[in-house]
Each structure stands twice: as structure tokens, then as C-alpha cells.
Amino acid sequence: MDNSFLALFIVGLLGGGHCAGMCGGIVGALSLQAPKQGAAAVLVHLAYNLGRIGSYVAAGLVAGGLGQAAGNLLALQHGLYLFASLMLIAMGLYLLGLTQFLAPLERGGQTLWRRIQPLTARFLPVRGVAQALPLGLLWGWLPCGLVYSALTTALAAGSAAKGALLMLAFGLGTLPNLLLAGLLMTRFRRFAQARAVRVVSGLLVLGYGIIGFVNYFGSFA
């Protein structure tokens, strides 16, 4: 298995505190409007999150396609690979709590979000899957530095298909934090935010980035 898939899954899974902070309010608002219990409630939350992950996959498809087009220029391809490795290192440092590099990335995405956000009103209030799915698709474009940093790996993937699969791995990692509710949600947040868990996950992602960085310069040896 390509290490980058596992790295992005870990980033999504254990970047849970950031996900909860960014999207917890949206999930809470959805819970107030949607069915409160039973299969209908599960389907609404599932549709909402599938829409969100679908947007990540679409963005990964575009990013991977751009990277594939740039692959015809060897120097640019090397540059993208180096950039993705550096971003993995930065994400590892973020999970370790040693940097807040995501904030500037999120500010940069506000311009796009200001154009998309008014469209969400068409699907409110959420009463079923028909509203939740398209709302989730729009929600996927909410400015998020964690998503943007994952997209750099998709950009260096070398193909549109791999870029999409990488963002799918990231999206599936974020799913537990934003799908689970109630006590189980609280327990998972505590687990994801535990210092020992963040240290281990941060070191893993940091290690993947360093390996990529070393391999990049090793290719010139």
C-alpha cells in the first residue's frame, strides 16, 4: 500500500480536533433540523458526510489531473513531489501541536466560500437525504487548511485517479469525527485529542514526509 494513502487517512482520522472545531457547529445545526432518531437520522447524517467526501474526491480528481498534466515537465514534477513531502512534514508538526500553519491556508479559501455559502440556503431546513446530500457537497468546500494540505499530496499523485483516491482516504479518515454522535462521539474526540495519540500520529505523518524528502534528494545521488 502506498504510504501516502495511510498518511492522509491518519491525518483525517487524528486531525479530529480540527475537524470538530471547523464543522461541529454545522453538524449540530443539522442535528436540530434532521430526524432525531432511527434509520432516518442515520441516513441524513450519512448522506451529509458522503456529499462532503464526494467534494473532496472531486477536488482530488482535479488536483491529480493538474499534476498529471504537469508531469510532462520533469522539473515541475520533482517540485510537486518535494512540495507534497514538505506539506506532510508540516501536517505531522501540526498534529504534534508544534505549528498552526493551517490558519493562513483557511483564510485563503474564504473568497471561494463566500460565493458558495449562499447556495446552502436552498437546502435548508434539512428534512431528509434530498437536502442533506447536496448540502454536504457544498459543505465540502468550506475553507479547511487540513483539506488544502491533503490536496497537495493529491496534486503530486501523478494521475487524476490516484488524486481522487488519496482524497477519498483522507475523507474516510474524517468520517468518524463528523458522523458519530452523542457519547460515542465524545469518546472518539477524547481519543483523537489525547496527547499520546496525537504524538504517535504526528510522528507517523512526519516520518512519511521525511522519507519522501530524503527520497527526493536521494534520487539525485
pLDDT tens per residue across span 191-218: 656 777 778 777 877 887 787 777 767 6
Query: With 70 as the cut, is the pLDDT of residue 2 above it?
Result: no
Residue 36 in any domain: the answer is yes
Residue 221 in any domain: the answer is no
Question: Span 136-150, mean pLDDT?
Answer: 85
Pairwise pLDDT comparison (160 vs 102), residue with the higher score: 160
Query: With 60 as the cut, is the pLDDT of residue 145 above it?
Result: yes
The pLDDT score that the predictor gives to residue 181 is 46
pLDDT band (50, 70, 90) for residue 182: very low
DSSP state letters, the chain: --HHHHHHHHHHHH-HHHHHHHHHHHHHHHHHHS--SHHHHHHHHHHHHHHHHHHHHHHHHHHHHHHHHHTTSHHHHHHHHHHHHHHHHHHHHHHTTS--THHHHHHHTHHHHHHHGGGGGGG-S--SHHHHHHHHHHHTTS--HHHHHHHHHHHTSSSHHHHHHHHHHHHHHHHHHHH--HHHHHHHHHHHH-HHHHHHHHHHHHHHHHHHHHHHHHTT-
Residue 190 in any domain: the answer is yes
Residue 37 in any domain: the answer is yes
Q: What is the mean pLDDT of the chain?
A: 77
State the residue range of the domain holding 80: 3-216
Residue 22 in any domain: the answer is yes
Residue 127 in any domain: the answer is yes
Domain count across the chain: 1
Residue 162 in any domain: the answer is yes
